[in-house]
Chain A
């Protein structure tokens, strides 16, 4: 074939290809054939291209370099991304492939172009978006960290690095473990940090927010949100905000403020200043002054009943009344919710007493808010300077102790600090210590007081009562050590002991064929233990006692404290099958609504209502009312502290079901109890003995 013929064949060949193609003569490096697509790519017609040199049409250094190498015989093929320049001067991105073909001793280079414009445009757009996203990420004031579901780091912004003071080398290393270790090392409470982080990682869909303190002194607020793609969680975004300054500012504001925000009264800080001043004056001029702690009685109840907003308005009214009792140079401060402190200048005991009486009198007027009328009383403790102390702490402590003493003694009164009270406190510590010894050494005993059915005179049960005979202290009355145990929490241990002891005793009696239901008193603290129900049930199980032979006596306050929780527990106890009674009924706050819902079997009328029966008309009315109420609600009623026959008769007439008291028997130790009631000797004999009332 002639050259011309060969070229004609090539021209036909390349024309059939989709991509832009031209052929370059190996010797002359001139284009010998080009297809229409090539013409279109360059914005001209194919014929224009033929005859031009490869170098002439090269738009990039690499094309130029390649043809240069070809000329030197160094290279004969290339595939790479490149550009071509259209005849109008614009530039098109392409993938360009050159290969050498030989045919009939003639060599040509086949140059194929694939247009990458569309691909490039997409990629540019993507890059642009990414850059924008990146810029957005960098423009936030928060530190951002993105992790995948496994916790591996997918990215973070510079603010994140600066917040956590990440060292420069960590920024470039992309070492997740190192970054996480660095964060772990930076926080103050590592254990808590790890625990919370694990919790966050565990719950893929959880949104969280918490605060971290760093060793650097920074306080960082951490908010984390699940990162979702197409509805599926794919990771988590942590944002960190430096709230150090915000916190410092609010702390500073707090420090600078000297008044209570609700009442505008001086707060603890300002009070301290004024007391300092008063102390200085007292030392210089020899004047005494009084510090009085005023605490509202059962104020919590007002909040619980009417709401905090209402309570706040009561406090404002109280503030006005107290202010009205003082001279303008004296100070009323509010330290806490319902705790006020009065600083009365130039006051001796008589002056302080007059002020305290004025306050109590001012408070005795009924309050009226939103058409509700009610009374708020207060308990006041007084300490005098210099006789009771010469510094704020000491005076406050003593006035406070005196105030608490008032509360113990029935509230709505005032009391001076008395050195005796301190002695009390010391003996309390002694009692607390001795009590713990007593439990270990077995100095506690349970005595049992029989409970009698009024109509039949039959003993239907016994209340277990704790007794303590200490080798050193002698007999310690429950009234003395139970409050101490309640304060220190030791009541739980005592309660446990009582429970197991009483259950064991009841089981023994029952096994002896003498089933005797036993009641025990349950303290609030014990009742609120998370595992209380479990403890009761295991005590029953281990003694193998049928549950109906155990009765738990609960006070109203236990039940009202958190009624929903109480209801929940009572239901569980009911499920267990144990009996339940309300102790000291009538002395606390009861809600009839709750009473209806609680699975209670029996009410015990408090001994204070029984004492003056049947002479005291109001006690008569109260007891009648309680009995009627109980009967209406189908509860049994038992009266305690019954000491006289007229009392028994009254209760019988009133319709009360049962009683206990000295009239029948005091609490007895087990042998006395058994002999008093005539426990049958050998087990197996049914022996129910009737007793006369």
Chain B
């Protein structure tokens, strides 16, 4: 039976709000939600055999494939591309809705912090729980690039860091409790900035020593707030250590890797990555690929090798959202990671001969002679390619159950 849960996605533990029930566990969980009714879609459900169907299909309906006019190979390829793209965009839209709910919840939490810290904690934990619930289980989960990330800057940053950190935590096999702490800590990592004047909330190169000191104090403020909220030690540790580096070059305590919690090590890296991709001054933004390269080239020692390695495996060498030029000079946008072949992600290719809604979604793994020559900033794309690929100013990630995409012949 294909059902729709008409409640916010945070109110249930399923990855999607609309899905086909396949296990008794799912039914039990739905019962546990305490809902009087759920909506279902007969057309998407496995219905009992003929005769019981209350809506027999009209005779003229498209029934037999043989009845359809013969489709040329090219037309079929275009249709498949269109469908693949549409499906991908539909999944994207769903992810965007969930992301937007998360940023709203995050904003609400932040607003509660100063007046009602304990309520804020409950909110943060609920949000973390909702995200973790959707990631637990055996199903393969992959990272998804969002085309639109709704919400204010601070909330988008917090949710972005939380989503990626939790995905990292999942690959490290963190326990459920650790995952929850990681989620809360990541959501609240910058909460201390509430105590700072706007001017020093974002580190600038020209900061004086005093200003830098001011800025760095957001960590201490964060810990104080975490205590007031009554956060768990694991989550508080993330807030306390999210600016420490593995080589002891971070602040405030210049801890090294050994004295940092795994969760803090993860958030320290992911936070840096997100700040590079989405800086306070948008013109200084790096592409995801540039950010990753720089983290790797300059920060090989700053970050735990295992964590950096896992991060690269998860994000790929060319993380989703990177605009690239292929070895045949075409421009493309990286859509998803190929974890076994990091140099061969799936890309959306700009081809003027192909309409935008039938754009090639190409897995480079299948293209022996095609590779990525370079990554570049979106503003360096020629206007036609920019329109076609439409990369976003702000890079935001969410996640989705892994789905095998039918590969359209290129």
Contact = CB atoms under 8 A, between A and B. Distances in A.
Interface of A: 59-62, 64-66, 69, 74-75, 78-83, 85, 91, 127, 130-131, 134-135, 172-174
B342 A61 contact: yes
A80 B342 contact: no
A59 B297 contact: yes
Contacts of B312: 61, 64-65
Contacts of A131: 283
Interface string B375-401: 101011001000100100000000000
A130 B380 CA distance: 11
A75 B365 CA distance: 11
Contacts of B379: 127, 130
A609 B312 CA distance: 111
A74 B341 contact: yes
Nearest to A95: B374
Contacts, number: 59
A80 B373 contact: yes
B327 interface: yes
A280 B335 CA distance: 82
B283 A80 contact: no
B387 A174 contact: yes
6 contacts: A59-B296, A59-B297, A74-B341, A127-B380, A134-B283, A172-B390
B341 A61 contact: no
A80 B374 contact: yes
B390 A62 contact: no
Contact of B293 (A66, A83, A135): A83
Interface string B273-299: 000000000010000000011001110
Interface in B235-253: none
A172 B391 CA distance: 11
Which 10 A-B pairs have CB atoms at the shortest separation, nearest pair first? A81-B374, A131-B283, A65-B342, A62-B317, A61-B317, A59-B297, A61-B312, A60-B293, A91-B297, A80-B373
> In which size bucket is the chain B interface?
20 to 34
A76 to B, nearest CB: 11
A75 B283 contact: no
A83 B299 CA distance: 13
Contacts of B374: 80-81
Contact of A65 (B343, B380, B387): B343
Contact of B297 (A69, A80, A83, A173): A83
Interface string B316-343: 0110000000010000000000000111
Nearest to B343: A65
Contact of A69 (B296, B341, B375, B387): B341
Contacts of A74: 341
Among A65, A82, A130, chain B packs the most CB atoms within 10 A around the CB of A65
Nearest to A82: B293
Contact of A91 (B298, B341, B377): B298
B327 A60 contact: no
A78 B387 CA distance: 29
B371 interface: yes
B372 interface: yes
A367 to B, nearest CB: 69
B289 to A, nearest CB: 9
B230 to A, nearest CB: 40
Interface string B329-367: 000000000000111000000000000000000000000
Contacts of A91: 297-298
Contacts of B296: 59-61, 64
Contact of B292 (A61, A78, A79): A61
A174 B292 CA distance: 31
Contact of A127 (B343, B371, B375, B377): B377
A141 B313 CA distance: 47
A75 to B, nearest CB: 7
Given A61-B293, A127-B377, A134-B283, A79 B327 contact: yes
Interface string B151-190: 0000000000000000000000000000000000000000
B109 to A, nearest CB: 28
Contacts of A82: 293
A80 B344 CA distance: 13
Interface of B: 283, 292-293, 296-298, 312, 317-318, 327, 341-343, 371-375, 377, 379-380, 383, 387, 390
Given A80-B374, A130-B379, 12 more contacts: A59-B296, A60-B296, A60-B297, A61-B292, A62-B342, A65-B312, A65-B317, A79-B373, A81-B374, A83-B293, A127-B380, A134-B283
A139 to B, nearest CB: 13
Contact of A85 (B297, B343, B375, B383): B297
Contacts of B297: 59-60, 83, 85, 91
Nearest to B342: A65
A636 to B, nearest CB: 78
A618 to B, nearest CB: 86
Contacts of B373: 79-81
B343 A69 contact: yes
A66 B375 CA distance: 16
B283 A135 contact: yes
A83 B295 CA distance: 12
B77 to A, nearest CB: 27
A127 to B, nearest CB: 7
A85 B343 CA distance: 20
Among A64, A79, A81, A172, chain B packs the most CB atoms within 10 A around the CB of A81
A131 to B, nearest CB: 4
A82 B293 CA distance: 8
Nearest to B308: A61
A172 B343 CA distance: 31
A70 to B, nearest CB: 11
A486 B111 CA distance: 79
Contacts of A127: 377, 379-380
A164 B118 CA distance: 47
Nearest to B368: A75
A78 B371 contact: yes
A74 B292 CA distance: 23
Nearest to A116: B374
A59 B297 CA distance: 5
Contacts of B327: 79-80
Contacts of A64: 296, 312
Contacts of A65: 312, 317, 342-343
A311 B293 CA distance: 79
A536 to B, nearest CB: 61
Nearest to B293: A60
A62 B387 contact: no
B293 A174 contact: no
Contacts of A80: 327, 371-374
A466 B181 CA distance: 108
B6 to A, nearest CB: 28
Nearest to A83: B297
Contacts of B298: 91
A130 B312 CA distance: 31
A83 B289 CA distance: 12
A595 B169 CA distance: 103
B298 to A, nearest CB: 7
Contacts of A60: 293, 296-297, 317
Nearest to A81: B374
Nearest to B374: A81
A62 B283 contact: no
B273 to A, nearest CB: 12
Contact of B343 (A59, A62, A130, A173): A62
Nearest to B369: A77
B227 to A, nearest CB: 39
Contacts of A174: 383, 387
Contacts of A61: 292-293, 296, 312, 317, 342
Nearest to B390: A172
Among B298, B312, B343, B371, chain A packs the most CB atoms within 10 A around the CB of B343
Contacts of A85: 297
Among B293, B327, B373, B375, chain A packs the most CB atoms within 10 A around the CB of B293
Contacts of A83: 293, 297
